[in-house]
Structure 1
Amino acid sequence: MYILGVQPYTKFTGCPLSPLLFNLSIEPLAAALRMDPRIRGITRGNTIHKCSLYADDLLLYITDPEASIPLALDLIGSFGRLSRYRLNLAKSTLFPVNSLAKEANYSAFQFRLEHSSSTDLGIQITDTYQDLFKQNFTPLLEKTKSDLARWSVLPISLAGRVNTIKMVVLPRFMYLFQMIPLFLPKTFFTQLDGLISSYIWDKKVPRIRKSLLQCSKSEGAANIVKLSTWMRANVISNFSFLSQSNFTVASAIMVYVKYETKDFGEGFLCLKKCLHNTHS
């Protein structure tokens, strides 16, 4: 609809073009944030990270917050006056990560201040690397245990239980594997496999080995994904951004092999050393 030759700002509700148009319209803001030298981002290797976009979610990475935040807000405000894009400060959070950032004064900003962790797209971002597992994977494991206990009393067939795992449980963990590339301990997968097996077989003795259930449908099996393999694949795939650095494919394979041979500690130290060489 056009009135006096002026194009409306929005499409009708449910229009499939709406998210695509929004993605196109938000890119100039991201480009302006990245190109402004006064807004200081986080440097890793040869790359300066300033912002990440996903749908209408905007995540800023800022150093020198007392100087950079007002500049970023002013730029976002200028963009909003042209596009009617508004930043909801009441729902926005500010999460200082290191000790220097936590000592800064944020009383002039309307953001909700987070201290030990912050949630973004369902992921708990913690101020320490060691807490990522405890804040993300442990709660999901407990939720899965609770859900499977409730569903186990329902009259669901064997095929229905397998499909429940494939359509509901597995995507939850795959999302975390993709968003948080961590090498998880094998005790985690042992516990998860036990929950899945108990649910599929209705707390009875399994009649088919787990390895057979994980075979493809062309082989007459259920094609249940092996989560530990998915975890390792996602972790190694995230190393592609280090392709021009000291971290090589051979290093990734070394980490994988050491993990497979149950030498998890040595594999983790190898990974840590490679990442340290990359960022130094």
Structure 2
Amino acid sequence: LQEYGLVSYHSLNLLKTQALALGLPPADLRSIKARYSFAWNDQGIKYLGITLPGKFEDIVSTNHKKVFAETKSLLLRWRLVRLSWLGRAAAVKMTILPKLLYVFRMLPVPVPKPLLNVVHRDISSYIWNGKRPRIPFKVLSAPLEDEGLKFPQILAYHKAAAIASLSESLLIHQPLWTYIQSIALPGHSFPGLLFTPSKSRPPLPTALQITRWSQNVMTNTYSPGPMPHNTVGGS
């Protein structure tokens, strides 16, 4: 970090540098803590509004549930503002949706469907002011060219976030995290696995459980294209 500071001309405060130990043996962890005076936090660290907990199974409870609760509270306050149902729908698209998309994209992890359904019901209740919907959601979410309003589908956006993370492995200049996947899959090309029938794919290691989930979402969402022998999403 000191060398990085000299090269980048950024002054780094080591006492404010947070560190989260994952999977380190106790002896190694004690040795590292003795050498580096970081702000060690075993419960988790926060970065750009996202909490990275010490346990993978706590990701949804510390991030998604928090955002969902804030969404519900915000919608309840908005009910005091007099708007048409179109105005309320526009408010959701411009304010609520970006908040949800941010946590979906930053943390492409499986979220229980009942939780997503609760968010959907909260949004629908706000749009129709707690009354029975006058227009079916299928019509609201239809494309504009089909006389719909292109209203966002929470479940679909959650799936899209998972698939979007996989698409980054197809870029010419791939993010660094894609190389970690390649190391965990010796003898295989991860981009190639995306185009391999699900029955022929080698099982992904436990360390790539998020990638495995995203891959399953992609397989269950897309059907093979019209090109001969195209197996994208096929089984």
Q: TM-score of the superposition, structure 1-length normalised? A: 0.59
Deviation of residue 122 (structure 1)? 1.3
| Counterpart contact for 1:183–1:232, Cα < 8 Å | no
Q: Which residue of 2 aligns with 1:96?
A: 21
Structure 1 residues 233 and 172: CA distance shift in structure 2, 3 A: same
Say how many residue pairs are matched: 185
In the alignment, which of 107, 121, 130 is matched to residue 203 of structure 1?
130
Residues 98 and 108 (structure 1 numbering): CA distance in 2 closer, same or farther, change over 3 Å? same
Q: Which runs of 4+ in 1 moved over 6 A?
A: none
- Per the TM alignment, residue 108 of structure 1 is displaced from its structure 2 partner at its CA by 4.9
Tell me how far apart the structure 2 counterparts of residues 182 and 205 of structure 1 sit (CA, whole Å): 32
Equivalent of 2:154, from 198, 214, 227? Answer: 227
Partner of residue 87, structure 1: 12
CA contact (8 A) 1:177 1:231 kept: yes
Instruction: Specify the SS of the correspondent of 1:104.
Output: helix
**What do the CA deviations read for 1:53-97 (whole angstroms, capped 9, x no partner)?**
xxxxxxxxxxxxxxxxxxxx23123225xx3x2113343211112
Which has the bigger relative contact order, CA under 8 A and spacing at least 6? 2
Deviation at 1:109, TM superposition (A): 3.6
Q: Which residue of 2 aligns with 1:174?
A: 101
Q: Which has the larger radius of gyration?
A: 1
C-alpha distance in structure 2 between counterparts of 1:128 and 1:253, whole Å: 22
Determine if the alignment matches structure 1 residue 183 to structure 2 residue 113.
Answer: no
Deviation for aligned residue 1:259: 7.8
RMSD: 2.5
Q: Name the structure with the higher strand share.
A: 1
Deviation at 1:107, TM superposition (A): 4.4
1:155 aligns with 2:82: yes
Residue of structure 1 in register with 2:119 after alignment = 192
Q: Distance in 1 between matches of 2:147 and 2:217?
A: 33
Q: Answer 1 or 2: which has greater helix percent.
A: 2
Identical pairs, percent:
25
Instruction: Tell me whether 1:74 sits opposite 2:2 in the alignment.
Output: yes
Q: 1:248 maps to what in 2?
A: 194
- Unaligned 5+ segments in structure 2 are 170-180, 182-187, 199-213, 223-235
Describe how 1:247-266 pairs up with structure 2 within 5 A: 247-249=193-195, 250-251=197-198, 254-256=216-218
- With 126-135 and 251-260 compared, the bigger mean Cα shift is at 251-260
For each residue in 1:227-268, what CA deviation from the matched residue of structure 2 results, as whole angstroms up to 9, or x when unmatched?
Answer: 2112212212322436823733344665445589xxxxxxxx
Give distance in 1, aligned partners of 2:103 and 2:67: 9
Does residue 217 of the first structure (1) align with residue 144 of the second (2)? yes
8 A contact 2:166–2:215 mirrored in 1 = no
Distance 2:113 2:88 in 1: 24
Tell me how far apart the structure 1 counterparts of residues 33 and 216 of structure 2 sit (CA, whole Å).
44
What residue ranges of structure 1 are gaps of 5+ in the alignment? 1-72, 261-280
Given that 1:162 and 1:222 are in contact with CA atoms closer than 8 Å, whether structure 2 keeps it comes out as: no
